[in-house]
């Protein structure tokens, strides 16, 4: 009877250790995804907040989007709680494409453009699609809004 009890207790202990390791692994994966997501925006946010923006900023936005942000989004979006995914997706779309008159994300289809062509078009101050009188401040606010999901999750 003692051997059976010892065996049963060792199985329970092993199961608890396995579950604990699994939870730590999930937290580690979330932390890595959140860190990569935050890092993908660091350079853009630094430039936006330094007030040393120029016309080449749009080129920088598009290149960091293609090189870093898109893949960081793919990894991180799985960790956004289900209840916040729609809001996260809307914030992402507003960051990429601006917003229409009603404050909803502007769809490239609304303006008859391909998604890649419409990307950050709202950041050109002279663009008729500019989402704000200060497109750089607008973009910085949306980056901070996106980064808040990495802090909350």
Q: Calculate helix-pair angle for 2-50, 57-64, nearest 10 degrees.
A: 160
Q: Is the pLDDT of residue 45 over 80?
A: yes
pLDDT tier, 26 (very low <50, low <70, confident <90, very high otherwise)? confident
Look at residue 55 and give its three-state secondary structure. coil
Q: How far is CA 85 from CA 73, 74, 89, 92, in A?
A: 12, 13, 6, 10
Q: Is the pLDDT of residue 58 over 80?
A: no
Distance CA 93, CA 112 (A): 16
Report the pLDDT value the prediction gives residue 145, as an integer from 0 to 100: 93
Average pLDDT value for residue range 1-30: 77
Please check whether residue 30 is in contact with residue 153, taking contact to mean a CB–CB distance below 8 angstroms.
yes
Report the pLDDT value the prediction gives residue 125, as an integer from 0 to 100: 62
Distance CA 51, CA 145 (A): 19
Residue whose C-alpha is closest to residue 76's, from 104, 38, 49: 38
Distance CA 96, CA 119 (A): 6
Q: Is the pLDDT of residue 83 over 70?
A: yes
Contacts of 124 (CB under 8 A, 6+ apart): 58, 130, 135
Residues of the chain with pLDDT > 90, as a percent, come to 20
Q: Is the pLDDT of residue 153 over 60?
A: no
Phi, psi for 102 (deg, rounded to 5): -90, 5
pLDDT tier, 129 (very low <50, low <70, confident <90, very high otherwise)? low
Q: Is the pLDDT of residue 38 over 60?
A: yes
Q: Is the pTM of this model over 0.85?
A: no
Report the pLDDT value the prediction gives residue 105, as an integer from 0 to 100: 81
Report the pLDDT value the prediction gives residue 91, as an integer from 0 to 100: 92
Report the pLDDT value the prediction gives residue 37, as an integer from 0 to 100: 92
pLDDT tier, 86 (very low <50, low <70, confident <90, very high otherwise)? very high
């Amino acid at each position: 009877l003692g051997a059976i009890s010892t065996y049963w207790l060792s199985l329970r202990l092993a199961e608890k250790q396995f579950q604990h390791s699994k939870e730590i692994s999930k937290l580690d994966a979330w932390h890595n995804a959140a860190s990569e997501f935050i890092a993908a925006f660091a350079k853009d946010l630094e430039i936006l907040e330094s007030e040393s923006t120029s016309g080449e900023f749009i080129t920088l936005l598009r290149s960091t989007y293609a090189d870093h942000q898109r893949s960081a989004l793919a990894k991180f979006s799985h960790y956004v709680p289900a209840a916040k995914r729609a809001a996260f997706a809307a914030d992402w779309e507003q960051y990429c494409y601006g917003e229409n008159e009603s404050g909803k994300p502007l769809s490239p289809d609304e303006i008859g453009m391909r998604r890649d062509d419409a990307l950050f078009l709202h950041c050109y101050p002279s663009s008729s699609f500019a989402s704000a009188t200060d497109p750089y401040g607008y973009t910085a606010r949306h980056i901070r809004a996106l980064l808040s999901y990495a802090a909350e999750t």
